[in-house]
């Protein structure tokens, strides 16, 4: 199977019956449980290549209450990291970002998303090749969806002016799409491994160029 082709449901791995992350699990930076709820918060799910560096980008963003990494957009229930890496689960490496909209706007979160990877590469980011590295946004609200769609259009124009091609980022509502938390070693990976593999594939193009 070509790792840049989304697996069909009938050919996806069967997966497991239990989550791969044993709860309770506490965020290594904030100390909060990963299943903690925050009053008045919003959540958005962002896939932008390897989730280790992407997660750190957002946990250091003012107004972000919590981050977690996991797998989203596939067919295999409770997938392991090893299974996702085969390309036979259909999932993308994804960061769940929970934020306080009174402190940071959805547009600010999405600007960080678009400006910190190359959303034109399809099923890859740099040397990381496969469907798990695709660019995608899963929105929890229609307002998030509208903001993501608008910013995608703006960034597309800026990228074209800079010589890049079409944005391949898939934008959809998260309704009914399961987010599976990744294993403990992947949560806050760069906190435990500060010299760990953390490529940034930003284009250098900014949304503010319009």
Express each pLDDT in 144-192 by its tens digit: 999 999 999 999 999 999 999 999 999 999 999 999 999 999 999 887 8
CA distances (Å), 81 to each of 49, 84, 143, 156, 206, in order? 14, 5, 32, 32, 32
Look at the chain and report how many structural domains it folds into: 1
CATH code (residue 28): 3.30.1060.10
Query: For residue range 39-50, what is the model confidence (pLDDT) as tens digits?
Result: 999 999 999 999
Query: Per-residue pLDDT averaged across 125-139, rounded?
Result: 96
Distance CA 81, CA 60 (A): 24
Please write the tens of the pLDDT for every residue from 63-96. Answer: 999 999 999 999 999 999 999 999 999 999 999 9
Distance of alpha carbon 4 from alpha carbon 184, whole angstroms: 27
* 64 contacts 77 by C-beta, under 8 angstroms: no
From residue 133, give the alpha-carbon distance in Å to each of 36, 102, 111, 204: 27, 31, 19, 19
Residue 204 resides in a domain: no
Asked if the structure places residue 70 within a domain, the reply is yes
Asked if the structure places residue 199 within a domain, the reply is: no
139 is catalytic: no
Runs of H (alpha helix) within the chain: 51-59, 81-85, 106-115, 142-161, 189-192
Using CB atoms within 10 A of its CB, is residue 67 exposed (0-12), middle (13-18) or buried (19+)? buried
User: How far apart, in whole angstroms, are the C-alpha atoms of residue 85 and residue 171?
Assistant: 22
Residue 209 is assigned to a structural domain of this protein: no
Q: Is residue 156 part of a domain?
A: yes
Instruction: Return the closest-CA partner of residue 142 out of 180, 93, 175, 183.
Output: 175
Determine the pLDDT at residue 45. Answer: 98
Show the domain range for 43. Answer: 9-193
Domain annotation covers residue 210: no
Residue 203 lies in a domain: no
Burial class (CB in 10 A: 0-12, 13-18, 19+), 180: buried
Question: Is 92 part of any domain?
Answer: yes
Q: Mean pLDDT, the chain, as a whole number?
A: 94
The active-site residue out of 50, 85, 198, 206 is 50
Q: Do the Cβ atoms of 129 and 123 come closer than 8 Å?
A: yes
Q: To the nearest 10°, the Cα dihedral for 39, 69, 44, 35?
A: -20
pTM of the predicted protein model: 0.96
Q: Is 152 exposed, middle or buried (0-12, 13-18, 19+ CB in 10 A)?
A: middle
> What whole-number distance in Å separates Cα of residue 70 and Cα of residue 63?
21
The answer to whether residues 83 and 76 touch, using CB atoms and an 8 Å cutoff, is: yes
């Amino acid at each position: 199977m070509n790792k840049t082709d989304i697996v069909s449901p009938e050919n996806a791995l069967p997966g497991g019956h239990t989550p791969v992350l044993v709860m309770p699990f506490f965020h290594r930076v904030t100390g909060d449980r990963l299943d903690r709820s925050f009053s008045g918060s919003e959540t958005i799910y962002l896939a932008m290549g390897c989730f280790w560096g992407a997660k750190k980008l957002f946990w250091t963003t003012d107004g972000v209450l919590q981050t977690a990494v996991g797998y989203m957009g596939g067919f295999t229930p409770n997938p392991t990291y090893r299974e996702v890496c085969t390309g036979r689960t259909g999932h993308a490496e994804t960061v769940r970002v929970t934020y306080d909209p009174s402190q940071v706007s959805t547009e600010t979160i999405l600007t960080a998303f678009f400006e910190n990877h190359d959303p034109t590469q399809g099923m890859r980011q740099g040397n990381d090749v496969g469907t798990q590295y695709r660019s995608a946004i899963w929105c929890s609200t229609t307002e998030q969806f509208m903001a993501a769609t608008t910013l995608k259009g703006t960034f597309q124009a800026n990228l074209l002016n800079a010589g890049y091609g079409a944005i391949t980022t898939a934008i959809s509502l998260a309704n009914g799409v399961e987010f599976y938390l990744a294993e403990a070693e992947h949560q806050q990976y760069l906190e435990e491994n500060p010299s760990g593999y953390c490529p940034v594939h930003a284009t250098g193009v900014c949304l503010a160029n319009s």
